């Protein structure tokens, strides 16, 4: 076997919660490897704060069906209801499974897993907020990631850390592996596999203000897009209402779940006007929009009236210190504000991608809006769109999504591997990746990529964030096309083969540009407002024309094509979304 060719049954790209949960399951049935551009425990799942929800009913009466209703209504009725049922039903066992693996959840006085409130999660179809989020202080994601990584090691999952996946191998419509760049040596590796799962996370780095890690650049969905396969619902991006002013660092919604209140510059609890029943715990799209409106109408706080305040001063200081220690520290460290004594300046921050690589409930990747699959190719977690979150995700539903669909992905891969053979692939399958890497260092760069990235992030923030218009989106489409031309001329100065981070950032920027293109084109076409996609020029939801998923793909001549897929309905018919 030639050097740098590896053979597995299942290869998983990404070592966040979705990838590790998939690896744990797949490796029970077949030879499994995880390939990750970062050391696993640095994945963004480790930054998740507030919790993972499941209708355990440990603290208050609850049911998986109420949870499903909240998820569909929170998603503004764009969620596929078969997938939502799967997620909410499997939630309880998923949490208990993590508990059995040793995850240190916070406890009630009688020793059960404790639960707290989060936005949009309600009792009996919207009557009042319910305690559904299981948590480990405000470090829930960190605990999930550490627990899963330990379990994977115990079970002998093989890891290729700091390997950057550059290409997806598809022959005759069937997936046969991946090609990756080893960051420590600059060498190219080929991984042949019967099944490949993408779990590469989100792509918030296309926006100026974001809660996302620097590494969340949409490499997985970007690769899928380059292969001519479709992406789903990319126009739906979530802006979280409480990012630290100017920085975007997240202050978990748990702060409001524990009793925190949002106030405008006049000290008014403005959410009472927008969501009279559950107020500050309305879904994120509604709260972020309310903040933008308050600021736009001159009721912001601070010298420039350009933020709102998260007020925790009425919450018991012991609760703040015990259950929200990290975010309290963030406010003190980064803004010099003590949340126990004064309001914390906050603004919406780009947080979560509802759209992604389309899959069915078994995480098999869809080849088109008609629902055929790409055999051997799977996707799970934030990079995928199954679609449980519809047009807007509820807090704590993502950690749940990655565990439920990560497990299903692992199971599906092991079953697929047991009944198939490795497909034949050309000997020179890694050649395009080798040529690509070589071409990036073949000349002088007219400008540094940091300038291109900054311009992209500012344009996306100004024209494509919480409030959108036809005109702004049209300008953004032109800007992204222009930025793509600038990017095509840019070159990497550093020619070294060892830890060439300039090269890595260069490749990542290309994927963010792809994702920005897919987002702006999908968003301009959708002439309605739904969930995270708000059009000032089309302010109403339009179920007659738009109760459908967007599929976007690149054609061989470099154009883009849009298609639409009906939403899988179920028990819940669309109603006006009041909270």
Ligand X SMILES: Cc1cc2nc3c(=O)[nH]c(=O)nc-3n(C[C@H](O)[C@H](O)[C@H](O)COP(=O)(O)OP(=O)(O)OC[C@H]3O[C@@H](n4cnc5c(N)ncnc54)[C@H](O)[C@@H]3O)c2cc1C
Catalytic residues: 284
Cβ-based neighbours of 49, under 8 Å, separated by 6 or more: 138, 139, 140, 141, 250, 252, 254, 326, 327
Q: Is the preceding omega at residue 387 within 30 degrees of 0, hence cis?
A: yes
Angle between helices 470-489 and 449-464 (to 10 degrees): 170
49-57, 328-336, 520-528, 537-545 -> range binding ligand X (CB under 6 A) = 49-57
Rounded Cα distance, 479 and 456, in Å: 8
Identify residues 337-396 at the interface with ligand X (CB under 6 A). 352, 381-383, 395-396
Nearer to ligand X, 36 or 115 (CB): 36
Residue 360 contacts residue 373 (beta carbons within 8 Å):
yes
Rounded Cα distance, 575 and 572, in Å: 9
Q: What's 37's DSSP letter?
A: S
Nearer to ligand X, 258 or 382 (CB): 382
Angle between helices 81-101 and 64-74 (to 10 degrees): 120
Counting contacts by CB under 6 A, is residue 528 touching ligand X? no
Residue nearest to ligand X (CB): 16
Counting contacts by CB under 6 A, is residue 18 touching ligand X? yes
Identify residues 197-236 at the interface with ligand X (CB under 6 A). 199-202, 211-212, 219-220
Angle between helices 140-154 and 81-101 (to 10 degrees): 70
Counting contacts by CB under 6 A, is residue 398 touching ligand X? yes
Rounded Cα distance, 168 and 178, in Å: 5
Q: What pairs with residue 133 in β-bridges? A: 53, 116
Identify residues 69-108 at the interface with ligand X (CB under 6 A). none
Q: Which x/- pattern over 298-337 shows residues binding ligand X (rule: CB under 6 A)?
A: ----------------------------------------
Nearest-approach distance from CB 243 to ligand X, in angstroms: 9
224-232, 295-303, 397-405, 481-489 -> range binding ligand X (CB under 6 A) = 397-405
Rounded Cα distance, 140 and 118, in Å: 14
Residue 4 buriedness (CB in 10 A; 0-12 / 13-18 / 19+): middle
Counting contacts by CB under 6 A, is residue 13 touching ligand X? yes
For ligand X, how many residues bind (rule: CB under 6 A)?
44
The residue whose two tokens read 């974001």 is 210
* 3-state class (DSSP) for residue 30: coil
- Neighbouring CB atoms inside 10 A of 378's CB total 30
Nearer to ligand X, 176 or 395 (CB): 395
Q: Which x/- pattern over 137-176 shows residues binding ligand X (rule: CB under 6 A)?
A: ---xx----------------------xx-----------
Counting contacts by CB under 6 A, is residue 47 touching ligand X? yes
Nearest-approach distance from CB 57 to ligand X, in angstroms: 19
Q: Which x/- pattern over 250-289 shows residues binding ligand X (rule: CB under 6 A)?
A: x-x-------------------------------------
Nearest-approach distance from CB 509 to ligand X, in angstroms: 13
17-25, 169-177, 297-305, 442-450 -> range binding ligand X (CB under 6 A) = 17-25
Site for ligand X, rule CB under 6 A = 13-19, 35-38, 43-45, 47-52, 140-141, 164-165, 199-202, 211-212, 219-220, 250, 252, 352, 381-383, 395-399, 402
């Amino acid at each position: 076997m030639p050097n740098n060719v590896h053979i597995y049954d299942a290869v998983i790209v990404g070592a966040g919660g979705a990838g590790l949960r998939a690896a744990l399951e797949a490796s029970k049935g077949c030879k499994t490897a995880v390939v990750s551009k970062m050391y696993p425990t640095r994945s963004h799942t480790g930054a998740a704060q507030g919790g993972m929800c499941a209708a355990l009913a440990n603290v208050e009466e609850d049911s998986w069906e109420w949870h499903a209703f909240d998820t569909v209504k929170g998603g503004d009725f764009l969620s596929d209801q078969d997938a939502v049922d799967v997620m909410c039903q499997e939630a309880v066992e998923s949490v208990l499974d993590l508990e059995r693996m040793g995850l240190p959840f916070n406890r009630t006085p009688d020793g059960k897993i404790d639960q707290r409130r989060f936005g949009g999660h309600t009792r009996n179809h919207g009557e009042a907020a319910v305690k559904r989020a299981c948590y480990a202080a405000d470090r829930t994601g960190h605990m999930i990631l550490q627990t899963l990584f330990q379990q994977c090691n115990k079970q002998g999952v093989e890891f290729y850390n700091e390997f950057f996946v550059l290409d997806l191998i598809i022959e005759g419509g069937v997936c046969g592996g991946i090609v990756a760049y080893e960051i420590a040596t600059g060498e190219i590796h080929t991984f042949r596999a019967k099944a490949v799962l993408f779990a590469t996370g989100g792509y918030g780095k296309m926006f100026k203000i974001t809660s996302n890690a620097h590494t969340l650049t949409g490499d997985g969905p970007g690769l899928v897009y380059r292969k001519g396969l479709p992406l789903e619902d990319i126009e739906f991006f979530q802006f979280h209402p409480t990012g630290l002013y100017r920085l975007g660092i997240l202050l978990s919604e748990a702060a409001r779940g524990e009793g925190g209140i949002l106030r405008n510059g006049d000290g008014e609890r403005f959410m009472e006007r927008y969501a009279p029943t559950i107020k500050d715990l309305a879904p994120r799209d509604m709260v972020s929009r309310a903040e933008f409106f308050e600021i736009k109408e001159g009721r912001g706080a601070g010298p420039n009236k350009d933020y709102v305040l998260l007020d925790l001063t009425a919450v018991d200081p012991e609760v703040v210190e015990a259950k929200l220690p990290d975010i309290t520290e963030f406010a003190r460290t980064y803004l010099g504000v003590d949340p126990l004594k004064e309001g914390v300046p906050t603004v919406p921050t780009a947080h979560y991608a509802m759209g992604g690589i389309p899959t069915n409930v078994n995480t098999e990747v869809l080849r088109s809006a008609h629902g055929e699959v790409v055999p051997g190719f799977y996707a799970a977690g934030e990079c995928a769109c199954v679609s449980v979150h519809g047009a807007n995700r509820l807090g704590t539903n993502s950690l749940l999504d990655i565990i439920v669909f990560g497990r299903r992905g692992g199971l599906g891969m092991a079953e697929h591997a047991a009944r198939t053979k490795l497909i034949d692939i050309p000997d020179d399958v890694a050649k395009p990746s080798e040529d690509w890497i070589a071409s990036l260092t073949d000349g002088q760069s007219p400008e540094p990529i940091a300038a291109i990235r900054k311009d992209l992030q500012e344009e996306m923030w100004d024209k494509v964030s919480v409030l959108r218009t036809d005109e702004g989106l049209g300008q953004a489409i032109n800007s992204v096309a222009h930025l793509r031309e600038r990017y095509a001329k840019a070159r990497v100065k550093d020619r070294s083969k060892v830890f060439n981070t300039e090269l890595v950032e260069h490749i990542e920027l290309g994927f963010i540009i792809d994702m920005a293109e897919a987002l702006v084109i999908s968003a301009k076409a959708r002439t309605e407002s739904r969930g995270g996609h708000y059009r000032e020029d089309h302010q109403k939801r339009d179920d007659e024309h738009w109760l459908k998923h967007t599929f976007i793909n690149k054609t061989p001549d470099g154009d883009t094509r849009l298609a639409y897929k009906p939403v899988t309905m179920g028990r819940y018919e669309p109603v006006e979304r009041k909270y």
